A and B are shown apart, each in its own frame.
Chain A
Amino acid sequence: MAKEGDLALEPKRLPLPSKVVLPVEYPLGSVEPVVQPGDVVHEGQRIARDENGILPDVRASISGQVTDIRPWPGPFGKEFLSVVIASNGENGGPQRLFEEGHTPAGLREQLRLISAAGIREPDAFPWPLSVRLAQPALTPPILFPFVPDLRRPVDVLILNGLDRQPGVWLRRSALFAMEESFLASIPLLKALTGAERTLLAVSGRQTLSESLERGLRMAGVEVVPCPDRYPVGLEPVLVQRLTGREIPQPGGDARSVGTIMVDVLTAARVAEVVLKGMPSVETLVQISAPSQWIHNFAIVREGTLLEEALAHISPEPKNPARVIAGGPFLGHAMYSLQVPLLQQTEMVLFQGEGDFASYKDEPCINCGRCVQFCPMRLFPNELTRACEYGRFEEAESKDLFRCIECGICSYVCPVRRPMVHLIRFGKNELSASREE
């Protein structure tokens, strides 16, 4: 992995793409397209919405014509129904969500805007941003009675300036590049969540600019330097580190312990939406090939195909043998370069033949490395052995479902056992047998 010095890269805004692909299906759920093939759409126009009003809208990220609505390889490893828009070359700025000078004051109205702007987060939260941000009084009425987590008042707001995975410098560079929007978002987020304490987690090796520090002081934000060590930046680990509260697993949300975590890029987006009415049509991605010392920050239209973005990047990564959308630990390997770059993508990692990490079925040697590093205090050695031999119930009794699949056990294993693979296998087998 490259060194800290590479952080000085300026984000480069890439030219308007010839077409974009915008999924309307996501791991969280799917939304209904409101356009037909052949429709002409304007940048920022709504092209899909959730009938229940829970999931965020999808906004057109360029002006042009809808050419197709069909399944398309997505950055999560499988095909998702997507809207394809061909550009007409217009680049006049997006349709605003409200007219200038009509900034909404009501919190409910602000939440509606956040949902309408199409903000999506890279972390795997169980709820979309507008639902998570709402304090109990603002929770959508159709969710309120059924989700006890959302009825709990929020007292700590954690702003996450830590990149989730090693080799990603997106959030820490956003603290420089998007300082203004980020600072503007803090009072908004505080008002929406009703949090009493606000913390900003930053890498211990990062020095903040003077103006940022001043702004944070004025906003009453406590800055907490954290070690640059995976998996500290992941939600369950960070929340526990900063507040001592444990998020129930599996599938728990920080809301269930009265905490909410928002990453700094998303926070900046919230300010853009609520204060200026700008929908999220652009996204910042890092495109890296560490073995060739290539690191780029690119601002692209959401849904730009990776292949097209690559054409504008120099030097271009050569001979990719594996392309990973989403980073080295949490990403998905792509089988095609025709994948759209989305807000959730964060980074695209190129690996050559030489820097492949291979895993193989070797017997565990009980060295205890995985136990030492597991952030959830599990015994991955025992879990994987149980899963390997089909003793899934035993694995479950040893807290198999508490695993957050961060992958650190695979990373440190001296015999390169496929630890996370075996754990996922066990989880899948158990869930499948429950469904029968």
Chain B
Amino acid sequence: MMKRPELNVSMSPFVHSGNSVQQITLDHLIAIVPIICAGWFYYGWLALMVLLLCTVTAVLTELVWQKVMGLPVRVWDGSALVTGILFGFLLSTLVPWWLAVAGSFCTIVIGKHLLGGLGNHPFNPAVVGWCFVQISYSGHMADYPIPHPMFGLETGAYLADPALVAAAEDMEMASWVPWSDLFIGNVPGEIGTGCMLAILIGGAYLLVRGRITWHIPISFVASAWLFALIFWKIDPSVYVHPTYHIFSGWMMLGAFFLATEKGTTPLGVPGMILYGVGCGVLTVIIRSWGAYVEGVPFAILLMNALTPLLDRIRPRAVGRRVEIA
């Protein structure tokens, strides 16, 4: 006679893929390692210091916030770590230390927790934090350091005379900078936005791991390129080449890492593509005719705000009976 076993009873399904927030953030961490390396390569140890400061502030802020507010402490899922690093990517190495701390604090408290917590905040927290420091301390945010590659590469020849660079208009800069330098990030800029190569490696990793889908990044970049192409065709002396648009500034980091933030994007395929197209077109509009040099953060925030509307565009559910009158 067999011993009567004590059996657990529950509802199906009885298995789980093992997917977890920790794994998602781990994949994001792996994906941003090349970008961190690129930041260090061009801007030296100072870049790592800024990133470290942002990260530590972000994680501590989240820990303290959750303890003080009596929320379940979920800081160990690592999402604050990733958000902190992403925020650090948006700063240049020339910012004062307190600016990094204040921005990182805002990123977590306002951008993430006050607006709903992980995955429920309407706007990308890192971009919200950036907006706060950009608007409050625009003077500190206006300077970009000249890249000094650690080895193997030389600072771009077009940067030989800093005075000339400072006086240059957009169009002139665009004609000076070789696309190869743009692609590898050998240009003045923020810590994590410059090196397209590193960002594309990280983005490809996220795509392969299925952490993001291709819809948003591809439609973002492709629509920006096509939209810029129209105006470049109309008047190449006023508008920059579309390839310059997609290889410069925040374009790639925005497309692969910022615009795809959980909770801020539509989830249906048509919505995602419209969202990406909106981001791309708005970026080019703001860059070409707006007051700000960089259009990506504002484009992303605007499209974040449109997400609930875009999510109403959804495919018809399978098996929905067509009513016959």
Contacts and interface: CB of A to CB of B under 8 A. Distances in A.
Do A and B assemble together?
yes
A377 B319 CA distance: 10
Given A322-B8, A337-B2, A368-B262, A377 B317 contact: yes
Nearest to A322: B8
Interface stretch (B44-52, B113-121, B221-229): B113-121
B20 interface: yes
B313 to A, nearest CB: 12
Interface string B1-27: 010111111111111110111011000
A328 interface: yes
A330 B12 contact: yes
Interface string A310-345: 110000000111111000111111111100000000
Contacts of B317: 249, 376-378, 399, 402
A379 interface: yes
Contacts of B20: 414-416
A424 B8 contact: no
Contact of A365 (B8, B21, B316): B21
B13 A411 contact: yes
A366 B120 CA distance: 7
Given A249-B318, A252-B319, A311-B2, A411 B16 contact: yes
Interface in A369-390: 369, 371-372, 375-379, 381
A365 B262 CA distance: 7
Contacts of B213: 372
Given A246-B319, A248-B321, A410 B16 contact: yes
Contacts of A410: 13, 16
Given A334-B9, A375-B318, A324 B23 contact: no
Interface residues of B, number: 39
- In the complex, which of the residues A310, A321, A369, A378 has the most CB atoms of chain B within 10 Å of its own CB atom? A369
A249 B314 CA distance: 18
A29 interface: no
A351 B14 contact: yes
A336 B17 contact: no
Contacts of A240: 318
B268 interface: yes
A423 to B, nearest CB: 11
Contacts of A232: none
A335 B315 contact: no
B248 interface: no
A364 B263 CA distance: 9
B265 to A, nearest CB: 7
Interface residues of A, number: 63
A368 B20 CA distance: 13
A307 interface: yes
Contact of A357 (B7, B13, B318): B13
Contacts of B94: none
A357 B33 CA distance: 32
A324 B13 CA distance: 10
A365 B119 contact: yes
A333 B8 contact: yes
A402 B319 contact: yes
A421 B318 contact: no
B9 A371 contact: no
Contact of A236 (B8, B267, B318): B318
Contacts of A378: 317
Contact of B21 (A310, A359, A415): A415
Given A236-B318, A376-B318, A377-B316, A366 B11 contact: no
B262 A367 contact: yes
A310 B213 CA distance: 46
Contacts of B12: 324, 328-333, 405, 407, 420
Contacts of B267: 366, 368, 371-372, 379, 381
Contact of A367 (B4, B117, B119, B314): B119
B15 A328 contact: yes
Given A376-B318, A376-B319, A379-B314, A335 B15 contact: no
Contacts of B2: 307, 310-311, 337
A134 interface: no
A328 B316 CA distance: 29
Contacts of A354: none
Interface in B270-325: 311, 314-321
25 contacts: A248-B320, A249-B321, A319-B5, A320-B5, A323-B5, A328-B13, A329-B12, A330-B12, A333-B14, A335-B9, A337-B2, A337-B7, A357-B16, A363-B117, A367-B262, A379-B314, A381-B267, A402-B320, A410-B13, A410-B16, A411-B13, A411-B15, A412-B17, A413-B16, A421-B11
Interface of B: 2, 4-17, 19-21, 23-24, 117-120, 213, 262-263, 265, 267-268, 311, 314-321
Interface of A: 236, 240, 246-250, 252, 307, 310-311, 319-324, 328-337, 349, 351, 356-359, 363-369, 371-372, 375-379, 381, 399, 402, 405, 407, 410-416, 418, 420-421, 424
Closest 6 CB pairs of A and B: A365-B119, A249-B319, A407-B13, A357-B16, A366-B263, A399-B317
